[in-house]
Structure 1
Amino acid sequence: MGGVEHAGGVGLEHAGGLEHAGGVEHAGGVSDASGVRLARISSEPLDLDAHLRAVDDAGAGALTTFVGRVRDHDPDAAGAVVALEYTAHPDAETGLVRIAADAIGGGGAIVAVSHRIGRLAVGDAAVVIAVASSHRAEAFEVCRTIIETIKTDLPVWKRQVEADGTTAWKGLGG
């Protein structure tokens, strides 16, 4: 999997890749968060199919997904956006597990969520969320809560790169 890159620019290496126990898979270690099957910060491309497999459950009648992708424009950009460069705090993965567990609350949803770091080109997936539950209302609510909380609470920052080389930090402080 590689290391987790954070705002200071220093990578944290996780020997052996992902660890998992109690059904939760993440690079930073073990979590006992009920219903969270996968929560990770990754420097590798995100795989929607892997997230779908992680939440596969015979009791789930609903499955929702969200894929946040790098787009080629921004209302504040003077020109075309060509890339986003994401960095994360060393504790971001632990925060991602907490965000997913809090979104599930006392419900029975099953979650897989990942956030990408590093330089991403237009079209690359920056966030992938899959939620399975007995009913659609819960699946939609949990998925929406996770992405909204990631945007405001997860210590991940992005620098927007325009075609002319201009850069700007985006989304700081929510």
Structure 2
Amino acid sequence: MIAPADQPGAAWRALPPGTVLNAVIETLDLGALPRRELVDAVRAAQRQVAHLDALRARVVAELARRADPPGGPATAATVAAALSLETDEAEELVGLAVELVQSLPATVTALDEGRITAEKARIIATHTRRLAPSTRATVEAVALARAPELTEAQLRTWLHDAMSCGQGHCASS
């Protein structure tokens, strides 16, 4: 454990997700940290979780790409067995992973960098699914600029409102 006097300084708080940040988080003496530094540790741990969620999405998408046929039910069955998931849960995981990797690369990058959570990535995917690719990329970019500061409910509402406005259903100001 790293004692407070041995803390690696404030620099660890800004580390990107990955092995170095993980090593620092795992060696923190949580019982000895002041409350404000525990908040920093929570943020760092959340960035790590998001990073791993992005890695899982890339691995699952690659697994789906190698299936015959690509993305077919065999991938969901394999994932369900490997992760002890229900089939419908595995199908959703595979579908979202493929969608993120193939159609929302900036969202995967934001997830990998720990700027958004897996749930925010899912919300972005769900709300932009029916858009044309160029429009989807534009909405994705705006959503990703806002998403880190919004709660999941706020992001869902913002995207719902943005999609309604895009279809001419905006209320007059």
Choose between structure 1 and 2 for higher RCO, CA contacts under 8 A separated by at least 6 residues: 1
For normalisation by structure 2, the TM-score amounts to 0.29
Whose Rg is larger? 2
More strand by share: 1
